[in-house]
Chain A
Amino acid sequence: MDDSTKRLLQQLVRRIPTQMLKTTLEKWGRLTTEQQKSLDFTQPKWVLTENLLAFCEENGWTTKHITELEMIYVTDSPNQGMWYAFQLLDPEDDAPSVELTQFKEQFKIHLTELIRHVSIKIKKHTDEAVWIRIAWGDSFSRPNHLKPTYVVHHLQTPYVFMSSVTRKQKPLLSQALVLATRYTAIKDAHLSGRKLTAIRDVVMKQYQQVFPTKYPSPLLEQNQTASNPLIKREQAESSENRHQMACEAFGYGMVPQLQTAVYKLETKFRGITNKTMTERGEPIRCVVKFTSTNLLESFRNCASSGIASTPVTPLLSSITQKGRNFFVITDNGRGPS
């Protein structure tokens, strides 16, 4: 067992929080029962690391085994790091029938053609997502397992999610993905966030959306105080309307947890009465960034409480409608799609 494997294991154990370590090791299944029993998870992390390094020697684990463990951990806690969404465009005719083994083969072939020293690991998760772990090397060095790239793709959907990709690696990775999925091109979906589940839900529309229907079920008010029949809310109808429009724009119930939305504006000044400024006619450049622990819920709250006027402006409702959180707005309409 060489140094790099040791370092990898050390870094990995440091990264995994102690409460998850037990289950992750069990899932991995490469510890014998005595070894598993001998680990005391109440001890400090460095003690556990020492024990695991010792087991590593005993059991003869290689880098391949450690990367397995890392992949198990990352697939179980995908809401870390920054994830970026990309969209595949123009499917070929056989794109809908690409199945897993074909995709795996094709991806490995194409990526190794483009860059020789890569280490690729592909795994299918229970929710039909295909996880790919890539360690990059170059013509002079072996793959660097300390900084792997992760890619997630759901077959037959045009979306790909990537994390930890450098600018040099991106074109190679994109090319391999496009060829393996039988599409023609790939573009930035302008959606990013720390929680993979959140951006996946936004893009695949897997959250509760509200639409106008003829047979509506009444939307529960979020703070339903005990309804005393003697109390009549004066503004009940307009607040009901606002709540409906807020839910239509941003979703109902638990919404995907996005953290930021960024708008780069280059538009003419839209103020009031200011003649000099409006005469000037040059656009004002500014960047507006919205941040919150749960962005969509904050926006929904703004709209239903009246801080944001309803009907909700398309700039904000585009976040859910178009599934993106980065926008460039100019006076001639939206910027690059």
Chain B
Amino acid sequence: MEGEATKGVLSVLSRLEMQARSRKAKPPQQQNSVKELKSTIDALITQRDQLKAQIETQMCVQKLRAAMDKQGAHEADEEMDDGSENSKLLRLMARHAQLKDLLHAHHLIGGYDIVKTCQGKGVCVSLATGYEGVYLDTYNLEIDLKETLRIGRHNIPPFIPVNSLAEQSNMQTDIRAFLGALSQHLNAFAGRKQQVKLVKELHKSVEVLETNALCSILVLLLTVPREKIAVLCTLDYADHTRCLPTRVCIECEDKELPGSPHWKNNITLLKETPVHKALITMKKMGYIV
């Protein structure tokens, strides 16, 4: 409450009032000006010394950083250990800078970020997802740091089983495993969702008959060009950590078609390449419209 008061309108006014009063009270005198100049000089000298010290510290830290990056943190520690307080502090600063850079790099490659919240009582993890070089949605998860870690607010959709993942990968002891597994699930989901979107956009001749919220089932209606026969293609993504289907089923009125070698190849193609790309290939080779 008080902090706000000092920045308020009243405080500005009182500051102005004080300035006006002090201006009235002080008649300019020569002795005072000499004293003032001397004190200004002293202040500037102190400032210069502080800045010099800062530059020195930074240079030491950078040297340490370079050594750490080359040799690995622990070896650098041992080398430069001369026991003094200063060097310990410098090492910590170097390590801190290194970790910050690592985290930033992790963020740039699309990994997850963590920030502190609630004055250190919790963290918020941001998990970015992407597919084929395109950033997709970012999901957030808040974790309370008490004796047991507890998952708080998040915007992860309910069909991604966050709580069971936390149990399975032992979130309490190994949070990296949990975050890794979660990131994997989310990225796979985002990838599958993006594939469905691309199929709808790029392949207007293919009809998407069925999908579901988790994008773990995809049923497409394909048309064979010459005979205009309809082929029902079901893709099952039973492994929710992957973007590729685990099972592909072809059904058709013409009982011969699914068994034909061309279509057996197509099935293998659909299992090994993302569906929107596989459809492009199949179109080029003339199997579907």
Contact = CB atoms under 8 A, between A and B. Distances in A.
Interface string A47-58: 000000000000
Nearest to B10: A234
A140 interface: no
Given A96-B214, A96-B216, A128-B211, A212 B158 contact: no
Given A128-B212, A155-B212, A155-B213, A213 B7 contact: no
A99 interface: yes
B124 A99 contact: no
Interface in B201-216: 210-214, 216
Given A97-B238, A212-B124, A156 B140 contact: no
Interface string A211-241: 1111100000000000000000011001000
* Interchain residue pairs A-B with the least CB separation, the first 7: A211-B140, A156-B214, A209-B155, A155-B212, A156-B159, A205-B155, A214-B115
Interface string A155-167: 1111100000000
Nearest to B240: A96
B63 interface: no
Interface in B157-188: 157-159
B9 interface: yes
A107 B91 CA distance: 66
Nearest to B141: A211
Interface string B207-251: 000111110110000000000000000001010100000000000
A204 interface: yes
Contact of B158 (A124, A204, A209, A234): A204
Contacts of A96: 214, 216, 240
14 contacts: A97-B236, A97-B238, A99-B217, A154-B212, A156-B213, A204-B157, A205-B155, A205-B157, A206-B157, A211-B142, A211-B153, A214-B107, A234-B7, A321-B153
Contact of A213 (B140, B154, B155, B211): B140
A234 B236 CA distance: 59
A157 B159 contact: yes
B14 interface: no
